[in-house]
Chain A
Amino acid sequence: MELFALFFSVMIVNNFILAKFLGLCPFFGVSRDLRSAACMGLAVTFVMTAASAVTWAVNDHVLKPCGVMYLQTMVFILVIATLVQFVEMVIKKVSPVLQRVLGIYLPLITTNCAVLGVCLLNIQEEMTLAEAVVHGFGGGAGFALVICMMAGIRERLDMGRIPVAMQGIPISFVVGCLMALSFLGFQGLFAG
């Protein structure tokens, strides 16, 4: 039950994009159409879940015993980059279809701040392995949810009559702000 609450709290209430403002570059960069946004969301969910588990293990078995917790950021970036490259190789071999869907998005998110953020938060809040994985998965799911919503809205905005100065990215910023405001309404929903 606690894991369930954690999942929804990180997915909706403490959403990585709209509440913690992490991973904003893909949020605006890859949300032009729904298809690529969905692929990006899928890739981020995948990497965040895997990275949570791996970095938790690295922290627990390498950094903690050696007493070098201050190296977290550096080592985590290294581990995440390796992990993503490794996963890409495996996917290329095992499933060409999945590779076509995630293909170009996987290398893009090796140094994504949302991915690094979730790993550092796992350690900061002293989570167990199961909690860390659920935290990563929920964070990724929330990211996918929000980026898909953004893509849907932007596709509709393309049809609207928008003043020239506001077309494209400027109106997307306004939309992003309004989305963040509306997500604020979930605050306190899973406060347990």
Chain B
Amino acid sequence: MGVIGVSILIVCVCGLIAGAVLALASRAFAVKVDPRIEKIEAVLPGANCSGCGLPSCFLYASHIVNDNAEPNQCVQLREDRVCEIGGLLGREVTARQRQVAAIRCWGSPRSKKLFIYGGFQSCRVASYYSSGGNACLYNCMSLGDCFNICPFDAITHTTGRIPHIDPDVCTGCGKCVRECPAQIIQLVPENARPHIACSSRDKGAVVSKICPVGCISCMKCVKTCPQQAIAHTDGLIEIDYAKCNSCGECIPVCPRGIIVDLSTPNAEEALLQ
């Protein structure tokens, strides 16, 4: 047996021992995984968007199986898919109302500017410089942080214009809601009939000087709403969508025309004209 024979023998023996060790170890250290977790993970969208509150789809799937969590927390799952998971689990599940993100400011291209911001092109940075030069502190800075964070390409954005969120693509994962430094993005039910396109907490006199389409807290919508679903708290008008029955009576009474029907196509363009 020459040198070659010895080398081949030694490498073969090493390989065999290594293989045997791994084979034994995979037996000894096998972790029991519930097969349902894998099946549920296959139904989940796999985008790891963390809209359910957990960092990945796998963790959410194991949370559903191990901790009996509700499968309807996934923001992208349609009703039939939720029922499919219910079938895999063998228990009753209910789907929930789909939500989409909506920007509560449509006035920033026309609102008053204090100076022209030329710094780093990010809303987060601009927010440290007097809201990117805007007189209104609840203003969309239009630099596209929400566009950059969106994992589903639901947001289109050109600098200087307010980003547009496509309600058909938006899954309501809430990443843009958490990202927006001005905190003017809100999750609303799909096809929300009244949507208030301003999130200013300033007093009416201040708003009317700096923005043509800002809320001046005239309270007309609050008084009009037959369901008492609109409330004025801390200077901000908010709709309680649990009470709102989408009658739309608040839409025509707003003197600034900033209560809009999100379910009509091109609601945004209509407001901007």
Please list the residues of chain A having a beta carbon within 8 angstroms of any beta carbon in chain B: 58, 62-63, 66, 68, 70-71, 74-75, 78-79, 81-82, 85-86, 89-90, 92-93, 159, 161
Instruction: Report Cα–Cα, A82/B11, bound state, in Å.
Output: 14
Contact A86 B21 (CB under 8 A): yes
Instruction: Report Cα–Cα, A161/B31, bound state, in Å.
Output: 49
Residues on B with C-beta less than 8 A from A58 are 14
**Chain A CB within 8 A of B219 CB:** no
* Residue from B14, B29, B120, B125 in contact with A90 in the complex, judged by beta carbons closer than 8 Å: B29
* Residue from A63, A78, A93 in contact with B18 in the complex, judged by beta carbons closer than 8 Å: A78
Known contacts being A68-B6, A82-B21, A159-B120, is A89 close to B26, with CB within 8 Å?
yes
Contact B29 A92 (CB under 8 A): yes
Contact B25 A90 (CB under 8 A): yes
Given A62-B10, A86-B25, A90-B29, 10 other A-B residues pairs in contact with their CB atoms under 8 A = A66-B6, A71-B10, A75-B10, A78-B14, A78-B15, A81-B18, A82-B21, A85-B22, A93-B29, A93-B31
**Chain A CB within 8 A of B233 CB:** no
Instruction: Report Cα–Cα, A58/B11, bound state, in Å.
Output: 12
A83 to chain B, nearest CB (A): 9
Nearest neighbor of B3 in chain A, beta-carbon distance = A68
Please list the residues of chain B having a beta carbon within 8 angstroms of any beta carbon in chain A: 6-7, 10-11, 14-15, 18, 21-22, 25-26, 29-31, 120, 125
Contact B29 A89 (CB under 8 A): yes
Q: 14 A-B pairs, CB-CB below 8 angstroms?
A: A68-B10, A71-B7, A71-B10, A71-B11, A79-B14, A79-B18, A82-B18, A85-B22, A86-B22, A89-B29, A90-B25, A90-B29, A93-B30, A159-B125
Residues on B with C-beta less than 8 A from A62 are 10, 14
A86 to chain B, nearest CB (A): 5
Known contacts being A68-B10, A74-B11, is A161 close to B120, with CB within 8 Å?
yes
Pick the most buried of B10, B21, B30: most chain A CB atoms within 10 A of its CB: B10
Instruction: Report Cα–Cα, A75/B11, bound state, in Å.
Output: 7
B19 to chain A, nearest CB (A): 8
Instruction: Report Cα–Cα, A52/B25, bound state, in Å.
Output: 21
Residues on A with C-beta less than 8 A from B7 are 68, 70-71
Residues on B with C-beta less than 8 A from A63 are 10
B210 to chain A, nearest CB (A): 30
